[in-house]
Amino acid sequence: MTVKQIRAFLAVAQSLSFAVACERLHLSQSALSLTIKALEEGLGGRLFTRNTRNVALTAEGEALVPLARRLIADWDNAEDELRQRFTLQRGRVTLAAMPSFAGNLLPPILKTFRARYPKVNVTVNDVINEQVLEMVRDRQVELGVAFEPTTSSSLAFTPLYMDRFIAVVPLDSPLAQLDDIAWQTLLQQPFITLQRPSTVRVMLEEHLQARGMKLPVEFESHQLATVGRMVASGLGVSAVPALCAGQMRELGAHCLTLHDPVIERAIGVLTKPGVELSAAAQALFDVLREENLAQRISGPKHQPL
């Protein structure tokens, strides 16, 4: 039993005429006749009673009609769906991104993506930097956005931005009047930062230790928003990735360029080598790079690459 045979059967069953059906099928009468004959022989009995003058369904043919209809409908739907996936009229991407990215740059990017591929579903996993690597490695997601891995992580990294740390100070602090600030100066204030397992916290401590400096940590949180709110309310100062500048300002804190040392690290897309991206994932990857380019023009604090 082949798809062609069932399509032919349905066409004949509908019109009850070989002559009419063979036009719809773009087939000669003889070919149609043979096709039906082959189907009948394959199934072991007649589906139509036909003399030269009229065509009618047998009882078994009658039974096949609804089955055939369902079969062909399902068949066409499946084919359609697959084709839609390939043409990105449908589909699904899974993405893991670290919170600072997921909460700041990602939303407008997703908006662009959605505008271009409205039926493609995007699942965003807003997880900490380490888990981004883990999820990509375990193939729980196709794409990850995170800091560039330090150790060779067996993951492919495509840089998007060069992110540097900026200082965050209360609006009413005298420091808020400066254009930029040195770490040495900043660290004379009570320091508010993320809790230890955080990549950001670890990065900070490593870089500063190398320069013989130490964080005068006064308050710790595991959420960047809390850090921002604490700074805004005058409890102390902080240093965060430039990526979060917008968020900090929204929370009522002031941001300054930080130097001596400039601490920076690439943020980019992580993929698992050898695992081919779905068409949908590839499209999202492309949008991520395009949007990066767009930002380069408008020029934010974090520098696109």
Partner DNA sequence: CACACTTACGATATTCGTAAGGATT
Partner DNA sequence: AATCCTTACGAATATCGTAAGTGTG
Shortest Å distance, C-beta 80 to DNA: 21
> Three-state SS for 129?
helix
The answer to whether residues 57 and 50 touch, using CB atoms and an 8 Å cutoff, is no
Nearer to its own copies, 242 or 288 (CB): 288
Nearer to DNA, 33 or 185 (CB): 33
Nearer to DNA, 14 or 29 (CB): 29
Residue 49 contact partner, candidates DNA, its own copies, none, CB within 5 to 8 A by sort of partner: its own copies
Shortest Å distance, C-beta 68 to DNA: 18
Helix, strand, coil in percent for the chain, rounding step 5: 50, 25, 30
Q: Beta-carbon neighbour count of residue 53 at 10 Å?
A: 5
Nearer to its own copies, 3 or 262 (CB): 3
Residue 87 contact partner, candidates DNA, its own copies, none, CB within 5 to 8 A by sort of partner: its own copies
Residue 141 contact partner, candidates DNA, its own copies, none, CB within 5 to 8 A by sort of partner: none
Residue for token pair 């449908």: 90
Residue 30 contact partner, candidates its own copies, DNA, none, CB within 5 to 8 A by sort of partner: DNA
Q: Which residues bind its own copies (CB under 8 A)?
A: 1-4, 43-46, 49, 56, 58-60, 63-64, 67-68, 70-71, 74-75, 78-79, 81-83, 85-87, 91-92, 142, 275-281
Residue 276 contact partner, candidates its own copies, DNA, none, CB within 5 to 8 A by sort of partner: its own copies
Shortest Å distance, C-beta 140 to its own copies: 13
Residue for token pair 């001596």: 260
> Three-state SS for 198?
coil
Residue for token pair 């670890």: 202
Shortest Å distance, C-beta 18 to its own copies: 17
The answer to whether residues 163 and 264 touch, using CB atoms and an 8 Å cutoff, is yes
Residue 281 contact partner, candidates DNA, its own copies, none, CB within 5 to 8 A by sort of partner: its own copies
Nearer to its own copies, 124 or 277 (CB): 277
Nearer to DNA, 56 or 171 (CB): 56
Q: Which residues bind DNA (CB under 7 A)?
A: 2, 4, 17-19, 26-31, 33-38, 48, 50-53, 55
Shortest Å distance, C-beta 39 to DNA: 10
Residue 52 contact partner, candidates DNA, its own copies, none, CB within 5 to 8 A by sort of partner: DNA
- Cα–Cα distance, 20 to 29 (Å, whole number): 9
Minimal CA–CA distance to 182: which of 166, 193, 198?
Answer: 166
The angle subtended at Cα 55 by Cα 53 and Cα 61, nearest 5°, is 160
Q: Beta-carbon neighbour count of residue 206 at 10 Å?
A: 11
- Cα–Cα distance, 238 to 53 (Å, whole number): 91
Q: Which residues contact 195 (CB under 8 A, 6 or more apart)?
A: 201, 220, 221, 222
User: Could you give the count of Cα atoms lying within 13 Å of 60 in the half-sphere of its Cβ?
Assistant: 9
Nearer to DNA, 66 or 273 (CB): 273
